[in-house]
Amino acid sequence: MLSTLSIRNLAVIEAVDVHFHSGFHVLTGETGAGKSIIIDALGLIAGGRGSADLIRYGCDKAEMEALFELSAHHPVWNTLTELGIQAEPDEHLVIRRELTVSGKSVSRINGQLVNLTMLREIGEQLINIHGQHEHQSLLRAEKHLGLLDTYGETIIRPIKIKYSEQYRAFVKVEKELRQLQESSQKAYQMLDMYRFQLEEIAAASLVPGEDESLAEERVKLSHSEKMMDSVSGAYELLHGSQGLEAVSYAISKLEDINEYDHKGIHPILEQLQSAFYQLEDAAFQLRSYRDGIEFNPVRLSEVEERLNMITGLKRKYGESVESILQYYVQIERETDHLENKDERLEKLLAERNQLLEGLLETAEEMSEARKICAEELSNQVERELKDLQMERTTMRAQISIMEDPKGVEWKGKRIRITKHGIDNVEFLISANPGEPLRPLGKIASGGEMSRIMLALKSIFARHDQIPVLIFDEVDTGVSGRAAQSIAEKLFILSSTCQVFSITHLPQVACMADHQYLIEKNVHDERTMTQVESLSEQGRVTELARMLGGVEITEKTLHHAQEMLKLAEAKKGA
């Protein structure tokens, strides 16, 4: 439920903090006092479009904040998770919105910034506002199918789950089939190209990593003469008189004096002997390396040619030999797919027809279930309307098959298949005997529309789990027994969700659990609206004003007390 609403600098409201409770709430006050501004604030909290014109004159921004207490099982928590908003079900949900004079809007949910689309998605699950001239979801025919499925969830949902699985499989095959059919002409062009590419890559007999090894070989072959000169020169220096011979001569000289100072000269002698052996080994390795240096212009030409060929393939098919080979495997698979296209097309067509047959069987089963639920819903709405003094009203949830010239053929007609089935649902109403059934949006009388909407809301509020239901002067155009019926229906509805109603009718106000007086006052030459939660005596006074106008008499006060007592008795019953 909505626990707290705070408003700052919105229209004529400077600062308002209101605490609400469970049950039925009414907002009363003189015309123009600002009752609708409270509803506007809640509409903005729910993601409605704002305007800089709503900001109080002389202020930079308007601020609204609402605190909700929701059960851990409410679907809004899953929606928040899907949107990436961190929120714990065991905590309160806080929605804050700011409007600035520049026309920008800033919204936060539990302190986290959200865009207007996200806010609206959350708000639609928390607050439903019905105004006298607003076309809410119940007036939109495209919403009626979902409402009927929600109403008949026990019967329809198992069939719908089965249908959804079949529909996904059908759409997948249908898409693949369509792509295959549309690509017929291009397929042969692609097949010729793929075959050429396969032959070209296969003829190259590529080996993974050979481009790198060939590049190394090319460097050696192209510099073989310089390498030979350098290695030969190094070998001659090591092996000549200034190399090994000089070291050998130095060793023999030290050996002559080793016996005179063995302790001092022997370590030096060992180092020279070790150096001699290392130099000798290096000289042998240089000679062997020199003998292996190849002067081979023919091989160099072969390597250059091979590398040029690989470079050409890289420009066409990949950045490396490995990627070229991967591309080869890919187009080999594509070629096989294209070569067997006709066979694949035939198999897909057979699979598609089989899936379509099963899908239509389930869709027809779902249609029959919807017809049963539609009959029950129609009867229930008529019972609700009877309670609202519209006992002669007829309501029908009309189900028809969606026909489409471009759709699939079924029982001699072409129909459209959607993820929801093949049905089109629209709620139709006849308010008086002898009048034809018409769509909800075409009901002429405001009083009739108010009661029809209330009847439908009363039924669907038990299914859609929206915790806050707001009626903005839903009782406009009614009086007498009809007004009393609306009051009783609103009270009963408040056992399912938190109900708010702006009303000018004392019959409605006296049935509320909580009443709030909206007043407009002038302070320091500025107009401001205030909200007061009325005590028992305050309710008596306000009801007396609603009954008698500006002048409150003992008789109207007494009448107001009687109305509250009778209302309490009726509520208890």
| Residue 304 confidence (pLDDT) | 80
Instruction: Give me the mean pLDDT over the 490-504 stretch.
Output: 91
d(CA 34, CA 516): 12
Find how far residue 296's CA is from the centre of its chain: 67
Task: Return the pLDDT at 107.
Answer: 93
Mean pLDDT, the chain, as a whole number? Answer: 86
Report percent pLDDT > 90 for the chain: 39
Q: In the predicted model, is pLDDT for residue 132 greater than 70?
A: no
Average pLDDT over residues 97-116: 92
| Total length of the chain | 573
What mean pLDDT is predicted for residues 83-111?
92
The mean per-residue pLDDT over the stretch 237-264 comes to 74
**For 361-387, what is each residue's pLDDT tens digit?**
999 999 999 999 999 999 999 998 888
Mean pLDDT for 67-84 is 92
Q: Which residue has the higher pLDDT, 547 or 516?
A: 516
- The predicted model gives 119-129 an average pLDDT of 91
Least confident of 145-159, 174-188, 481-495, 530-544: 174-188
Please compute the mean of the pLDDT values over residues 298-311 and round it to a whole number: 80
Cα Rg of the chain, angstroms: 44
341-387 vs 321-339: helix crossing angle, rounded to 10 = 80
pLDDT at position 76? 92
Query: CA 519 to CA 522: how far, in whole Å?
Result: 10
Q: Are 477 and 445 in contact (CB under 8 A)?
A: yes
The pLDDT tens digits for 186-208 are 777 788 888 888 888 888 888 88
Highest mean pLDDT among 314-323, 518-527, 534-543 belongs to: 534-543
pLDDT, one tens digit per residue, over 134-166 is 445 567 788 889 889 988 988 999 999 999 999
With a cut of 90, say whether residue 248 has pLDDT above it: no
**How confident is the model over 441-490, as pLDDT tens digits?**
777 566 677 788 888 888 887 777 889 999 887 777 777 788 888 899 89
Is 356 a residue whose pLDDT tops 70? Answer: yes
* Mean pLDDT of all residues in 36-40: 89
Most confident of 47-51, 169-173, 334-338: 169-173
Long-range contacts of 374-383 (CB under 8 A, 24+ apart): 374/148, 374/152, 374/398, 374/399, 374/425, 376/151, 376/152, 377/148, 377/151, 377/152, 377/459, 380/459, 381/452, 381/455, 381/456, 381/459
What is the model's pLDDT at position 472?
Answer: 83
Lowest mean pLDDT among 94-103, 212-221, 560-569: 212-221
Q: Does residue 429 carry a pLDDT above 70?
A: yes
Q: pLDDT higher for 8 or 317?
A: 8
pLDDT of residue 372: 95
CA distance 43 to 268: 98
Distance of CA 313 to the CA centre of its chain: 44
Flag whether pLDDT at 547 surpasses 80: yes
Q: Select from 87, 86, 89, 105 the least CA-distant residue to 97.
A: 105
Distance (Å, rounded) from C-alpha 5 to C-alpha 126? Answer: 14
